[in-house]
Every structure is written in structure tokens, then in C-alpha cells.
């Protein structure tokens, strides 16, 4: 992670925004999430904001917009191309998980779009599955926007608040442990949001 941070820090601010925005957009739009989960780029952006390389507010706005638009593109891909796209090589290997995503969407409806935002695999495929399943777009858009705002702001702040401590952890116990510590923070946020959603559902 440190090497990635150093590489991004050598870019001008506009290029950092561009890279992060494209990664978040492409996660569901073209299934880049199978290679690089979007929250990784967002957390790195938050870290860089804490180091004053970029600014946190424009970053959060960019991430939210790219998340919402990217998922909307993924929805249209699923609606127009459907099983042809989900049957491609890299996705075909996850056929059982795609079946699980369809069932999740069938049982939870629009709420699944919001909840799926917090899981890397579902975040990458659920918009396309929603389009394929003909979930009404206004319903999809409402839950997609809500999830994009909550997810985008949360992970920007996770990186921002952990930013300065990340360097301390890395220097004292090594890069590997620093990555684990960052992962624990991310997992903690996800678990908290899922428990809160379950309590609200009850």
C-alpha cells in the first residue's frame, strides 16, 4: 500500500482524482471490482487527503458521483446484454455466487442494492444482476444513490481518519501489519453498518 501511495503522490492532484474516480466508476460498470475493490482506491484517496495531497470534500463528492453513475451503467449493461455478459469467462467461474446474488436481489428487492454496496463481489455484479432481473430503475436508482452516498463518505473518512496513523503503524510493525490494520478498520465499518441495517429492518 505504501508503494501505491508513493506512486499516487507523484501525480498532480487532478490525476489522483481521475484515477480514483475511474476505478470507482469502473468497478460495477465494467466489473473492475473483480481485480481491485473500489474501497481500496477510496481509502487510499482518504489517506492522501489527510496528507493534504488532495481535498476530502471534492474527493467524497467525486467518489459518490462515480459510484452512482458507475452502478447505473452496470444496470444498463445487465438490462441490455444480460446473461451474455455474466456468462463471460471471469464471471462464469463465479456462477454459483451470481446465483446467490440473484436470490439476494429477489428476496430483498431494492434493499439488496444498498446492502450489496458493502460487499466487494456484490458491489461489482449486483447492478448488472438488477438490470437483468428488470428491477425498476427508479427503485434501483433510489437505493443505489443511498448506498453510494453512505459507502462513499464512509470509506473516504476511513482513509482520512486513519491516514496519519497509517504511517506510524507501517514504520513500527511493517507494511504487512499496516495493511491488516487498515483491513480491520474497513471490516469494522462494514460490520457496524450491517448490524445497524438489520436492526432497522426489524
Residues 6+ apart with CB under 8 A from 157: 46, 56, 60
Residue 87 banded pLDDT, cuts 50, 70, 90: low
- All residues at 6 or more sequence positions from 122 whose CB lies less than 8 Å from its CB, including other chains: 101, 104, 112, 115, 116
Least confident of 72-81, 84-93, 115-124, 165-174: 165-174
Query: Residues 8, 19, 156, 104: is their CA dihedral positive or negative?
Result: negative
* DSSP secondary structure of 84-98: HHHTSHHHHTTHHHH
The average pLDDT across 14-19 equals 91
- Residue 130 gets which letter from DSSP? H
pLDDT at 70 over 70: yes
CA proximity to 50, closest of 178, 154, 163, 156: 163
Domain segments of the chain as ranges: 2-201
pLDDT at 56 over 70: yes
Is the Cβ–Cβ distance between 35 and 76 less than 8 Å?
A: no
The pTM of the full predicted model, rounded to 2 decimals, is 0.74
Kindly tell me the sign of the dihedral angle through the C-alpha atoms of 149, 201, 72, 92.
positive
Amino acid at each position: 500500500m505504501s508503494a501505491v501511495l508513493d506512486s499516487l503522490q507523484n501525480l498532480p492532484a487532478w490525476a489522483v482524482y481521475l484515477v480514483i474516480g475511474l476505478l470507482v466508476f469502473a468497478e460495477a460498470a465494467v466489473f473492475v471490482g473483480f481485480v481491485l475493490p473500489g474501497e481500496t482506491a477510496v481509502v487510499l484517496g482518504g489517506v492522501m487527503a489527510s496528507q493534504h495531497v488532495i481535498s476530502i470534500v471534492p474527493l467524497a463528492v467525486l467518489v459518490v458521483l462515480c459510484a452512482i453513475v458507475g452502478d447505473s451503467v452496470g444496470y444498463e449493461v445487465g438490462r441490455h446484454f444480460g446473461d451474455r455478459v455474466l456468462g463471460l469467462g471471469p464471471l462464469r467461474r463465479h456462477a454459483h455466487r451470481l446465483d446467490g446474488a440473484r436470490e439476494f436481489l429477489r428476496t430483498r428487492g431494492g434493499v439488496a442494492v444498498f446492502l450489496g454496496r458493502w460487499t466487494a463481489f456484490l458491489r461489482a455484479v449486483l447492478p448488472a444482476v438488477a438490470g437483468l432481473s428488470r428491477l425498476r430503475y427508479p427503485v434501483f436508482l433510489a437505493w443505489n444513490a443511498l448506498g453510494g452516498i453512505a459507502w462513499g463518505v464512509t470509506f473516504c473518512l476511513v482513509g482520512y481518519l486513519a491516514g496519519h496513523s497509517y504511517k506510524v503503524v507501517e514504520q513500527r510493525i511493517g507494511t504487512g501489519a499496516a495493511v491488516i490494520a487498515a483491513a480491520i478498520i474497513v471490516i469494522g465499518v462494514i460490520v457496524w453498518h450491517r448490524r445497524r441495517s438489520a436492526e432497522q429492518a426489524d
